[in-house]
Amino acid sequence: MITLECLNQVFEITENSELGHRRYKLDADHHPWLNYFGNDGGSARDPQVALPHNGHDNALISVSPWSIDGNHADPGYGYLSLVLLAYTNTVQKPEGVIFHPNLALPNMQNMKIKGKLRGVDINSAGAELVFWFQMPNKEGNKAINYACIKQPITHLLMTGQEETFEINVDIRDFDQWVCLGSCKEKEEVYDTVDPQDIVSELDAGISPYNMGFVFLGYQPQALISDQAPKLSPMDFCFPCRWPVDPDSIPQGTIFWYDIEIDYHSYYTVKRK
């Protein structure tokens, strides 16, 4: 049994020999969802708690500008922006992110995510809104990132109406996934591992650090590019070395309603 203290709460975590079914339902008054916003060189360092929708009991709001993440740029899969994420493991950051016992230590097989969303003034900049997760590699010395690129929900944002979505998450459907890899500057931090090569780790009880939704696959452009210096992927990230053309990055507001996640876990988590 592991005891975890987070934000003045104590949790008891017990490992089990078999997978057990778990269910998470969004409660906007107490939720684990965060985003990285404000690509202005000043507020993008730490994740911010996603805003509750005051007119709806079970809704959150995610507002751009979302920070540019160049960690997985060429030769990795591409730039991304973290729109909505939750820390799901006992590896917590010093600032004390939220750990929710009903969305804890999930297995990335046979998970179903459903809910509703509504996009307002969305410019995807050619990116797709997809499910994503991050986990440790086998050696435990690097992180691996995967995105479910075959189930994008970007098109639902473009209607301007409340739309229902459902995503089936199973890493064993290898064709659904891509490993995001690393840009050259972060190869000591992020690993590249094919999805089929992590199934044994998941079967052994290894869980993601975090998971959620990202805009993936856009190319930020420098503002007044004819005067900009030569920029690396990290120069577009916090702290920004040069202003970015806002039309080249995802923009808008996303309302998330009634998120439910059915998943399995090798762990039982209870508040003490």
Residue whose C-alpha is closest to residue 114's, from 44, 161, 58: 58
Q: From the CA atom positions of the chain, what is the Rg in Å?
A: 18
- 245/201 Cα distance (integer angstroms): 41
48 forms beta bridges with 35
Give the length of the chain: 272
Q: Which amino acid is at 28?
A: A
Note down pLDDT in tens along the chain; length 272 residues.
777 666 667 888 899 989 999 999 988 777 888 887 654 433 445 566 676 666 566 788 898 888 899 999 999 999 999 999 998 887 655 444 567 889 999 999 999 999 999 999 999 999 999 999 999 999 989 999 999 999 999 999 999 999 999 999 999 999 999 999 999 999 999 999 999 999 998 888 888 989 999 999 999 988 887 777 787 888 877 667 778 889 999 999 999 999 999 999 999 988 87
Q: What is the pLDDT of residue 235?
A: 81
Alpha-carbon distance 20 to 268, whole Å? 8
Please report, for the chain, the start and end positions of each structural domain, with discontinuous segments joined by +.
Answer: 21-263
pTM above 0.75, yes or no: yes
Residue 150: left (phi > 0), alpha (psi -120 to 50), or beta? alpha
Q: Report pLDDT for 35.
A: 80
pLDDT score, position 240: 73
Contact 189, 76 (CB under 8 A): no
Q: Which residues pair with 143 in a beta bridge?
A: 136, 190
Q: What is the pLDDT of residue 56?
A: 66
Residues 49, 55, 57, 62, Cα dihedral to 10°: -30
